[in-house]
Amino acid sequence: MLKLYASPGACSLASHIVLEEAGLPYALQVVDARAGVDHLQRIGKAGLLEHDVAGEGAGARTGVELQHGPPPGRGAPRGRSMLKLYASPGACSLASHIVLEEAGLPYALQVVDARAGETRTEAYARINPLQRVPALDTGEGVLTETVAILTWLAERASPRLLPEPGGLEHARAHEWMALLSATLHPSFRMVFRAERFARTPEGVEEVRGAALETLLDLLQMIDGRLAGQTFALGRDYSVCDPYLFVFYTWARRAPVAPVCPPLLNWEAHARRVYDRSAVRRAMEQEGLSPL
């Protein structure tokens, strides 16, 4: 029997609705996030305890072309089906860049240096209105968001860099990617870009300090999840691994590194990932120092 842990009106409502749509039997366990404690209260028939909806009628690397500077825009001449990745050195876009190298697909790399403000140009806003990297021009349309790009590339790589859809492993891969994209990345952002979240110059250090505490907890939680694992999903390398690798390199930067406890499992994982020639090639192309 499936069991969904959900808080009223929280993001878990989406999963709850889909369980109802899917017509699968499940139990709903309410864990009220606003109450600050887990109520472990079951809802179903009378006050809504276990809910069974059954019967209620019920988703050969061939080369990289390096380009630098602000993007020329959509009308620029290029090979019709050539992929083009917009990436900033050492940014989260490095994960997509590594996967392009792994996948052996021909692509062009367009460096859009976020630190130099190149993501904030009008030309780049035409590629990604959010003015963030990565963006991947697939030839059929521009894809943004790392999770979408990694998934798209993983399905075109040979061998595939994601488990077959339908099983728990496939969902586990998405669990990793969502954790990194939606929880870990914003946490790093609040530390590295605290000035964008503080209302006053004096508030910057307060924001950074509070964000750093949350970030350190998260980093240690992820380190724990990697214990005994060769790669994120166990023995098989997947797109989750280069994505984890990028955040490991971020954890080695100030102001995180000086206060971060050792992340021994993650470090060993990062070394295994770094052993792959695709990772070294991508880092070299971005002008990054070796691990």
Among 146, 232, 242, 278, binds ligand GSH (CB under 6 A): 146
Angle formed at CA 180 by CA 176 and CA 185, multiple of 5 degrees: 175
Q: Which residue is nearest to ligand GSH (CB)?
A: 132
DSSP single-letter state for residue 56: S
DSSP single-letter state for residue 181: I
Q: Which stretch binds ligand GSH (CB under 6 A): 50-58, 132-140, 156-164, 262-270?
A: 132-140
Neighbour count for residue 131 (Cβ, 10 Å): 17
Binding to ligand GSH, residues 163-222 (CB under 6 A): 181, 185
Binding to ligand GSH, residues 263-282 (CB under 6 A): none
Q: From the CB of 75, what's the least distance to ligand GSH, in Å?
A: 23
Whose tokens are 């808080």? That residue is: 7
Cβ contact 108:65 at 8 Å:
yes
Output 105 or 133, the one with its CB closest to ligand GSH: 133
Output 3 or 68, the one with its CB closest to ligand GSH: 68
Task: Write the single-letter amino acid at 25.
Answer: P
**How many CA atoms lie less than 13 Å away from 22 in the CB half-sphere?**
12
Whose tokens are 């792994």? That residue is: 102
Output 51 or 242, the one with its CB closest to ligand GSH: 242
Binding to ligand GSH, residues 70-109 (CB under 6 A): 88, 91-92
Task: Write the single-letter amino acid at 164.
Answer: E
Angle formed at CA 158 by CA 94 and CA 133, multiple of 5 degrees: 20
Cβ contact 36:19 at 8 Å:
no
Q: From the CB of 51, what's the least distance to ligand GSH, in Å?
A: 34
Interaction mask 32-61, ligand GSH, x per CB under 6 A? ------------------------------
Question: What is the contact surface with ligand GSH in residues (CB under 6 A)?
Answer: 88, 91-92, 114, 119, 132-134, 145-146, 181, 185
